[in-house]
A and B are shown apart, each in its own frame.
Chain A
Amino acid sequence: MIDIAVVDYGMGNLRSVSKALEHVAPDKRVVVTSNPADIAVAERVVFPGQGAMPDCVRELDARGLRQAVISAAADKPFLGICIGLQLLFDHSEEGNAAGLGILPGNVKRFADADMVDANGARLKVPHMGWNEVYQSRPHPIWNDIADGERFYYVHSYYVVPEDADIEVGYSNYPKRFTSCIARDNIFAVQFHPEKSQHAGLKLLSNFVAWDGRP
């Protein structure tokens, strides 16, 4: 029995994700896997990712994991993190790559022209560090997490969902962007809960307890 499968498609370091899950759920079996069968039997699935989206899509396909991820996203508690959020959408500006098309929408880069704060200072890309996350609407994953709590981000691209109603959280840099989405059994975040100290661990622990219903 696998309680939590962390999808490993060779992109980035998954140790932080699995360590954090083991920390919040010591009695659960957490498996980092590139085996589609593990993903199929797991009770819940975490879909992380780092690096460039075109490479992520290529590596996912090279391991034959595309269908396993699409199936998991259809019917079990599913948590996307960082590129694991971006991959759910149709298309990314990064390398003009097609995503998995599970959610309608696109992934865009922070536009250079917008990267100025209220005092006229230049904002850096990647957007790196702790930013406030505002909750667009209630969700079980937000339990005991304050509206406006800070989480740790590292990214240069952000998602633009076609259906604005799937947004469940956002941040400002400097413009407002969607940083968390939820639809049915899917919850996905642009920031890194595994690196966001107490708030991040709380989010992961809420995910582990979640029945997959909005």
Chain B
Amino acid sequence: MPRVIWNGSISFGLVNIPVRMFVAVRDHDVRFHLLHARDGVRVHQKLFCPADGEELDHEDTVRGYETSPDTYVVVHQDELDALAPKASRNIEILDFVDIAEIDPVYYQHPYYLLPEERSAGPYALLVQALEDSGRVGIGKLVMRNKEYLAALRPVDGVICLETMRFADEVMPTGEMEKFELDREPTKRELSMAMQLIDTLSSSFDPEKYHDEYREAVMELIESKAEGQEVTMPEAFVEPGKVVDLMSALEESLARAREKKERAG
């Protein structure tokens, strides 16, 4: 069972629904650790000052914001704390908007919200109202000292909270490089493209797609963990007659000698 990462409530108008928040996605990237190549010991990172080589603890450091190259404004933790958004345990829905209006580029990270025991009734009501209206709730919440914009949308009878990017974080397509078009597509070309789309149309089935690179890496790791030698598949020659070691080596040694002599 996933862990609760936040407690609070959804509020809109006079309604208040206590909820618990869970992560909705798992990151499956293969993560490696850095080991010392010589003895396999996991390496540590050290902070040090390049000016005098002194090794530092975290307490010896302050945060600096680079205003121009090599020029920093130092900002202290208590100054940041004073600016932190007021701690709040409330997700206040400000607007309900048509789900089709939100471009997926704004969605950042999904979480699930589940009702507290006594709020199951109002929670189910909100889910159904969202489903029936085809709208999503847009609101703000504070999590880990940071203010987030969020969309609340129904997914399989559960409310999914998507943290969202603020408008100034999304690069407008207008800022992208322009491309030249010598003529508009013809009607005929367009209808051919439409036909092709028609024949390839299907419904989205996420199960169909896999991260094949990750699977290959995990397979490699598992076989190494079992102590298997990992080699790339190669053509296999039928084993010949068993010979003694020295006669097996002789031929290859002679070839190696010859090559070296030729090389000088």
A binds B: no
Which residues of B are in contact with A by a Cβ distance under 8 Å? none
